[in-house]
Every structure is written in C-alpha cells, then in structure tokens.
C-alpha cells in the first residue's frame, strides 16, 4: 500500500467546490484512492458525498492511500492538488 499525508490548502476546506474538484480528479486518475482523516475515518476519495461527509477543514491533515501499482504518481498529484487553493474561481457577472 502506498500512502501520502497532506495538509488541506483550501481556505474553505474540502467543502462544495474544492471537494468536487478533488473527487473528480480522483475519478479521472484511474487509481482507486481512499481518503483518511485525522480521526481514522476512511472513505472512497472519488465519492463527492463521502468526501463532503468527512467535514475536512483548512489546515486539516489527511492521508491518501492506494494499493494500485500506479499509486505513487497519482497520490503525489492528488496531494499537490489538496495542498493548493481549490476555491479560487471567481464568479462571473450574469449578462
């Protein structure tokens, strides 16, 4: 098993948009990834509802893990994503 621990960089934590961006990236990476919080709760990282249910906040530490042979590269990319601000998109004015 390969694992990578990361500190959440999004100011709003893994809520709404950041959780959606992350779960979609997991689904697209082609590797089965589990997400574990500081209390030891583990969920499928590709499930937006499961990720949201964890209530992960800014600065929280989480661990990504996988048994897949391509896990090291995938987990490194996903960890980098989690460490960044995923809620940067500014709303555009309606026309």
User: Domain 2-83, what fold?
Assistant: 3.30.1340
Measured over the CA atoms of residue 32, residue 38, residue 41 and residue 46, the dihedral's sign is negative
pLDDT-derived band at 87 (thresholds 50, 70, 90) equals: confident
Domain boundaries, the chain: 2-83
Question: What backbone phi and psi angles, to 5 degrees, belong to 3?
Answer: -140, 160
Q: pLDDT at residue 45 above 70?
A: yes
pLDDT higher than threshold 90 for residue 54? yes
Is the pLDDT at 81 greater than 70? The verdict is yes
Helix (H, G, I), strand (E, B) or coil at 41: coil
Which candidate in 9, 12, 15, 37 is catalytic? 15
Told to judge if 16 belongs to the known catalytic residues of this protein, a careful annotator would answer: no
- Cα distances from 36 to residues 39, 62, 78, 89, in angstroms, run 8, 6, 14, 27
2 pLDDT above the threshold of 70: yes
Residues 75 and 4 sit within 8 Å (Cβ to Cβ)? yes
């Amino acid at each position: 098993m390969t694992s990578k621990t990361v500190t959440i960089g999004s100011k709003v934590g893994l809520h709404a948009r950041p959780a959606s961006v992350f779960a979609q990236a997991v689904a697209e990476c082609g590797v089965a990834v589990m997400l574990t919080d500081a209390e030891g709760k583990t969920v499928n990282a590709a499930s937006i509802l499961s990720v949201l249910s964890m209530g992960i906040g800014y600065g929280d530490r989480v661990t990504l893990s996988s048994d897949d042979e391509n896990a090291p590269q995938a987990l490194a990319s996903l960890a980098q994503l989690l460490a960044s601000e995923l809620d940067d998109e500014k709303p555009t004015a309606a026309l």
